[in-house]
């Protein structure tokens, strides 16, 4: 299976919840020859004939016994090798040993491209994989494959067009107000994130950094000591220790849902690209943090009880000077002023002023890009947003500018040329690119050990969490039946 089947929401409606060896029987009977005293055959040497017959029968019996023994031995030998005891297959969730109720810990390693786990020894991540469920070829992010749109998609089960965070930076087309990664006003953040859902169901939640977690919305008040305000300078070890401390609370006060966020290896990926030794070091450090977490949970006797879901938000791809497209090169066909641009790369977003038809802009841009006269022009395709591939689910929101350009993997769009160094790493591209995939690992009572599942989109995780916690979730773009198919049924 590639992408899981997902329900698509109509623009005019609220999101709805749709994604042994065979044995040959032995026949030991054998015809034995016997002499008859009533035989009519002449016998001139009766003693000789009798001795010969007896000898023949004896040899035949010995042969049969030997043959039967050989067959029996062969049967036992091959049975012991081809019919080894079948290990017990988990068909239901493992019972909780110490915790009274399910607890889900959702961990994000930002920019953890699928395949990074093979760059270096990752014994702790490997342990989660070996004893849990893994998306065998990676988790598929939503488009655009950026940090804020994807983190909020994971916790709401909604595509960006529905949860409202359509980019890391964008403008409200009505008010002109700008959104950035420090915007905590609730009107930007649509949908119902998991911490809000958990509180709605009478349970406690705790967040140690996650985009949107500081927004006070609905019953979620970002409570003191259970909602950490983002500070990227906080050491990873301190973050792990704080989460472990929640398990030292009285049983009824342990949050049912927790988040834990690490900026790495995204931080390094932007600086040096996905193939630098600095990435290897960052991945090894994330593995150490997972080891510290596991050891702390084991010390408290709750490791096997806690459901750990480890994900990334997107992948990473390398970029370099030769992979640049300059909008100024289109001036022969159309002038694209800077104030029309809401984002350049890897998602080109253009909102022309009133009086300029978006369709005319797209037509002239594509004429230039396909002319062969624009450097790297063939690596940018410009669409009216309603003409984008439906699989991107990126058209219904008014916040999405009317013109969207899809940039080929590893290329960047800029206004005009410059002499600055342009090599590093980037993400945000079409989520069909394998380089944009990240990881999914589920470990805990309801995840089968050693199971591999096909890739799926991260909007499925919301329903997965609500299923584990046995709570009622909000409407979303995921498929409840698909989420449950990844879990073992409860006892």
Residue numbers annotated as active site = 147
Tally of residues, the chain: 491
Q: CB under 8 Å to 136, separation ≥6 — which residues? A: 452, 453, 454, 455
Strand 104-109 versus strand 424-426 pairing type: unpaired
Contact 271/278 with Cβ under 8 angstroms?
yes
Tokens of 103: 């607890």
SS3 state at 67: helix
Residue 321 has phi, psi (to 5 degrees) of -55, -40
Measure Cα distances from 301 to 17, 92, 247 in Å.
36, 21, 10
Sign for the pseudo-dihedral over CA of 104, 109, 115, 118:
negative
Residue that is written with structure tokens 């994971």 in the block: 154
CA end-to-end span of the chain, whole Å? 28
Tokens of 255: 């949050």
- How many Å separate Cα 473 from the centre of its chain? 20
Contact 144/347 with Cβ under 8 angstroms?
yes
């Amino acid at each position: 299976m590639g992408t899981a089947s997902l329900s698509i929401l109509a623009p005019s409606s609220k999101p709805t919840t749709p994604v042994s060896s065979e044995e040959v029987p032995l026949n030991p009977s054998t015809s034995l020859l016997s002499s008859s005293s009533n035989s009519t055959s002449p016998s001139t040497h009766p003693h000789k004939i009798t001795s010969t017959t007896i000898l023949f029968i004896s040899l035949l019996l010995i042969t049969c016994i030997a043959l039967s023994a050989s067959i029996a031995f062969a049967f036992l030998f091959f049975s012991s090798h081809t019919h080894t005891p079948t290990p017990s297959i988990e068909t239901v969730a493992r019972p909780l040993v110490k915790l009274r109720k399910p607890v889900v810990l959702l961990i994000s390693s930002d920019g953890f491209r699928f395949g990074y786990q093979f760059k270096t020894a990752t014994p702790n991540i490997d342990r989660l994989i070996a004893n849990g469920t893994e998306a065998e070829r990676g988790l598929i992010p939503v488009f655009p494959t950026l940090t804020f749109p994807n983190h909020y998609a994971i916790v709401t089960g909604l595509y960006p067009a529905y949860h409202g965070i359509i980019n890391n930076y964008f403008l409200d087309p009505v008010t002109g107000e700008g959104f950035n990664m420090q915007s905590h006003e609730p009107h930007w953040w649509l949908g119902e994130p998991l911490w809000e859902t958990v509180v709605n169901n009478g349970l406690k939640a705790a967040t140690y950094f996650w985009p949107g977690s500081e927004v006070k919305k609905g019953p979620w008040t970002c409570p003191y000591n259970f909602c950490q305000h983002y500070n990227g300078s906080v050491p990873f070890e301190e973050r792990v220790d704080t989460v472990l401390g929640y398990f030292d609370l009285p049983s009824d006060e342990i949050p049912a849902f927790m988040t834990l966020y690490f900026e790495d290896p995204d931080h390094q990926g932007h600086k040096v690209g996905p193939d630098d030794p600095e990435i290897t070091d960052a991945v090894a450090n994330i593995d150490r943090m997972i080891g510290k977490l596991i050891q702390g949970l084991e010390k408290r006797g709750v490791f096997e009880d806690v459901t750990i879901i480890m994900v990334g938000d997107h992948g990473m791809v390398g970029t370099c000077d030769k992979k640049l497209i300059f909008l100024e090169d289109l001036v022969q066909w159309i002038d694209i002023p800077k104030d029309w641009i809401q984002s350049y790369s890897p998602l080109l977003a253009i909102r022309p002023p009133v009086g300029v038809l978006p369709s005319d802009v797209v037509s002239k841009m594509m004429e230039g890009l396909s002319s062969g006269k624009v450097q790297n022009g063939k690596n940018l395709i410009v669409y009216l947003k309603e003409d984008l591939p439906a699989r991107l689910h990126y058209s219904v929101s008014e916040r999405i500018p009317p013109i969207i350009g899809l940039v080929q993997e590893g290329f960047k769009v800029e206004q005009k040329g410059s002499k600055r160094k342009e090599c590093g790493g980037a993400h945000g591209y079409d989520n069909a690119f394998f380089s944009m995939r990240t990881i999914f690992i589920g470990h805990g009572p309801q995840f089968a050990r050693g199971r591999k599942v096909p890739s799926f989109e991260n909007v499925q995780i919301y329903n997965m969490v609500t299923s584990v916690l046995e709570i009622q979730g909000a409407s979303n773009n995921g498929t409840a039946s698909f989420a449950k198919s990844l879990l073992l049924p409860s006892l």
